[in-house]
Structure 1
Amino acid sequence: MSESVVTETVAAGVVQITMNRPDRKNALDRASYAGLIAALAAADADETIRAIVLTGAGGCFTSGNDIRDFAAAAASGDGARIAIDFLTAISSTAKPILAAVEGFAVGIGTTMLLHCDLAFAGAGATFRMPFVTLGLCPEGGSSYLLPLIAGQKVAAELLMLGEAFDAPAALDAGLLNRVVPEGTALEHALARAKTLAALPPQSVALTKMLLKKGTRTATAETIAEEARHFGERLRSPEAMAAFAAFLKK
């Protein structure tokens, strides 16, 4: 397991997966994605685990993809495959996933919430999907799922303009279950996870499966189509210029 991802059983039936690069605001590089994929697979396969809580270290969820790592991937031709593999993993995990968001949730830090079953954010959390501003395009099935839950106009505003928005706006857009006092998102997520862990596990799993049945195929197809465009955009002059400008800051 990557050191940039820490996994621990925090209560009976509850595993906590923590994105752990606080010095980089938990920006996700290839090692982080590999760690997250392995942690989700292990939790899903463990019969003693009933619920998964996903959070970030140091009072921050994640600042999204590590731009240095992404720029290197683009230059080497590797593209964003590992990030897409993570999004496929989180979208297909059978156990319930609960997100605890504080600080920044940028890019994939926001789109991964579309695949979490429950999500709680501290009142000071900030969200952003700056794909267009980086010369890229939506990922993680967001071009399908966000209009579905937030409406076409809100989704267009958040994805096309790529501007930051606050926790109440994220709640209104359907990305969250609740906005809680700053610093208490993990506490609330763990409390709900413990409640889920105490419920009949087969009934919980079946309910999650049925809830996602209607969108499963379209979500997988959209993730795959977005990934093709994303890989192309990653190598585009617009993206290269945006990365270079970002790295000069």
Structure 2
Amino acid sequence: MSAELQASRRDATLILTLSNPGAKNALHPDMYAAAVETLSTAERDDSIRAVVLTGADNFFCAGGNLNRLLENRSKEKSVQAESINNLHGWIEAIRDCPKPVIAAVEGAAAGAGFSLALACDMIVAGTSAKFVMAYVKVGLTPDGGGSWFLSRALPRQLATEILIEGKPVGAPRLHELGLVNKVVADGTALDTALNWADELAALSPNAVERIKSLTQDAQNNSLAQHFETEKHHFVESLHHRDAQEGINAFLEKRKPQYK
């Protein structure tokens, strides 16, 4: 069987499963375009309220395939550069998707697999799950935005440790550092992520989309700029049908029903 990104649905949640049997779900260029297309479709589908990214066979992703990288050394540099561009397109699609994206990590998230998890809005991990940026172990440097995500999320010293040492970091430690949202019993990360997605699906889609946008804008905005951005989103949200339903439901002491 070849490497593929499998797509399925559970109610309002789109489930994307990394599958590469026998290779610990190592990434392949065929996955990249499929991921971008699937996320683009999800963006336009109002029936999808959340996305969960996971790996088959209780293992998230081993990252890039070293044998394929060795083959690419005999080709023009542009071949590898194009492959990385396509990977980065997938990362951008996760970040740009207006729906919340949750990573459900079992086993390990290594290299670009770690980058994929970091690109998601939230991470659920099994207790024994490991996260590793081992590029340095084979004389390589990170891709997939891994060094950007870690440098933004952690103090420089900790990000440098993870990237330069290339040693596995356990889910509990990343939870303490704020990079992993929930640590759960091994084998339950996907179910936990799906249940969490169900909870998010009951919230205002308009508000969720705008809040995701705000958290991303905050990384680059000055406070003065962000005041303006928040004002815009608040006013637009107030005049959206979701606000009418949400406010009425609160005052009437009932659960809101968002369309």
Taking structure 1 as the reference length, the TM-score comes to 0.81
Is this contact kept in 1: 2:3–2:27, CA < 8 A?
no
Deviations along 1:57-78, one digit per CA (max 9) or x if unpaired, are 0010000112222333343231
Give the count of matched residue pairs: 215
Say which is worse superposed, 201-210 or 83-92, in terms of deviation: 83-92
Paired position in structure 1 for 2:25:
26
Q: 1:68 to 1:96 in 2, by over 3 A?
A: same
Shift of 1:110: 1.1
Task: Indicate the percent of aligned positions where both proteins have the same amino acid.
Answer: 35
Q: Which structure would you say has the larger Rg?
A: 2
Q: Quick one: which of 214, 222, 244 aligns to 1:210?
A: 214
Structure ranking higher on relative contact order (CA contacts 8 Å, 6+ apart): 1
Q: 1:3 to 1:106 in 2, by over 3 A?
A: closer
Shift of 1:216: 5.8
Is this contact kept in 1: 2:123–2:182, CA < 8 A?
yes
Is this contact kept in 1: 2:109–2:117, CA < 8 A?
no
Shift of 1:136: 1.9
The SS at the match of 2:7 is strand
Q: Quick one: which of 190, 195, 203 aligns to 2:194?
A: 190
Is this contact kept in 2: 1:50–1:197, CA < 8 A?
yes
Structure 2: gaps (5+ residues): 222-259
- CA RMSD across the alignment: 1.8
Distance 1:3 1:160 in 2: 29
Q: Quick one: which of 110, 113, 116 aligns to 1:109?
A: 113
Is this contact kept in 2: 1:6–1:19, CA < 8 A?
yes
Paired position in structure 2 for 1:9:
9
Shift of 1:97: 0.2
Shift of 1:167: 1.1
Paired position in structure 1 for 2:126:
122
Structure 1: gaps (5+ residues): 218-249
Paired position in structure 1 for 2:52:
53
Q: Does 1:86 align with 2:90?
A: yes
Paired position in structure 2 for 1:228:
none
